[in-house]
Amino acid sequence: MSIADTPELQGRRIVLGLSGGIACYKSAELVRLLVKAGASVHVVMTEAAQHFVTPVTFQALSGHPVYTDQWDAREPNNMAHINLTRGADAIVIAPASADGIAKLAQGRADDLLSLLCLARPWGAGEERCPLLLAPAMNREMWAHPATQRNVAQVRADGALVLGPALGDQACGEVGDGRMLEPEELLEEIVAALRPKSLLGRKVLVTAGPTFEAIDPVRGITNLSSGKMGFAIARAAREAGAEVTLVAGPVALATPRGVRRLDVRSAQEMHDAVVPIAAQYDVFVATAAVADWRPATLAPHKIKKDGKKLAPSFELTENPDILATVAALPKPPYCVGFAAESENLLAHARSKLERKRVPLVVGNLGPATFGKDHNSLLLVDAQGHRELPPGGGMADKQTLARLLVAEIAGRLAAYQA
């Protein structure tokens, strides 16, 4: 299997714990997504959880026996609480009830799930098994001082708390306490298990096209979908960075944990990026910014006049965002993108020299705009090479992770 088609959690072993709550129904979809992502999932259910869903469901979805009792004699040594956590990459409790969180905060171990959490390798060594909690409860229960004390304690003890979300609750009330959706939890689990090569760093990313208005309803734009830039923002966040994403007009969900600023035109993107760029360690200019815009904006829609004469208008050059950031007194590490239709290497190298940046990433725009796969050409002063290594195509999220790892490796030398 090549790096281009390896599932995100291939070879990972996840222990999924369910404590009592109506959100248990979401956990079935979470198991399906984890398995699809390549993980081996082993489910542990409390007695309360079994009142909402059955172990049969999770055995069918995971392909493994479900554990419900600390005295389960199926284990040769009768120590499921030890065996399940040794070699596990993470324990995920979803849903994590108020009672379940209280048990963890107090170090109680009166059922299999709380017992295996206490018995997991929790130190800093290679065998460390991280604990991820997805709270799910009524809004008043979540806001209660006792719950907030317990959440603060489990965080202090090293657990990663995912959510909760705000929204409609099964009881009919609305507020904080909803368990994150399965897709959101999958993204968080993947992020938790990724290497933290940019921990403590700040990354600024631009993505998508810009739209340069001709009149109130028409404009100049391009076919960029923003998928590559959004994938880079997600990958940088997975690597531990604090990420800000400045997005042109695209229809994409914001990656979890990423701050997003929406803009429309090249000038708006320039005005959003340049004042803050010096605060960041890395600037990745993925956006396909329009080079020109109409010099004047027609106040009303330009109509046909019956004479079959096409309207004409003067163009003026847009500000160069990448070159402006690269010329700052203390610029971040700047990565430019070159979306070309021909002579990729020559045009990418020309952009590298013209913008005076340390790295330009080239790709063929017509071959990748709007698509889920891409191939990249990394061009710097020393030479060039392909991503994925050896050439070919890879999905954009895989490429984004490879590029972020590349940037992290270059960053230390750049700032030395």
117, 129, 171, 334: the catalytic one is 171
321 annotated as ligand-binding: yes
CA–CA gap between residue 208 and residue 227 (Å, rounded): 7
Q: Does 171 qualify as catalytic in the annotation? A: yes
Stated as kind and residue range, the H or E segment containing 188 is helix 182-193
CA–CA gap between residue 63 and residue 40 (Å, rounded): 9
CA–CA gap between residue 96 and residue 108 (Å, rounded): 15
301 annotated as ligand-binding: yes
Using alpha carbons, select from 275, 268, 228, 274 the residue that is nearest to residue 248.
268
Residue type for 367, please? A
72 annotated as ligand-binding: no
CA–CA gap between residue 246 and residue 98 (Å, rounded): 37
Using alpha carbons, select from 128, 122, 126 the residue that is nearest to residue 104.
122
164 annotated as ligand-binding: no
**Which residues are 363's β-sheet partners?**
339
111 annotated as ligand-binding: no
What single-letter DSSP state applies at residue 319? P
Strands, E assignment, 248-341: 259-262, 282-285, 292-294, 315-317, 333-340
351 annotated as ligand-binding: yes
Angle (nearest 5°) at CA 348 between 345 and 350: 105
Q: Are 240 and 292 in contact (CB under 8 A)?
A: no
Q: What does the longest C-alpha to C-alpha distance in the chain come to?
A: 90
CA–CA gap between residue 31 and residue 247 (Å, rounded): 32
36 annotated as ligand-binding: no
Render 55-102 in DSSP notation, one character per residue. Answer: HHHHHHHHSSPPB--TT-TTSTTS-HHHHTTTT-SEEEEEEE-HHHHH
**Which residues are 377's β-sheet partners?**
362, 386
* SS3 of residue 382 by DSSP: coil
Which residues are annotated as part of the binding site? 291, 301, 319-322, 337, 351, 355
Which residues are annotated as part of the binding site for CTP? 291, 301, 319-322, 337, 351, 355
Active-site residue list: 171
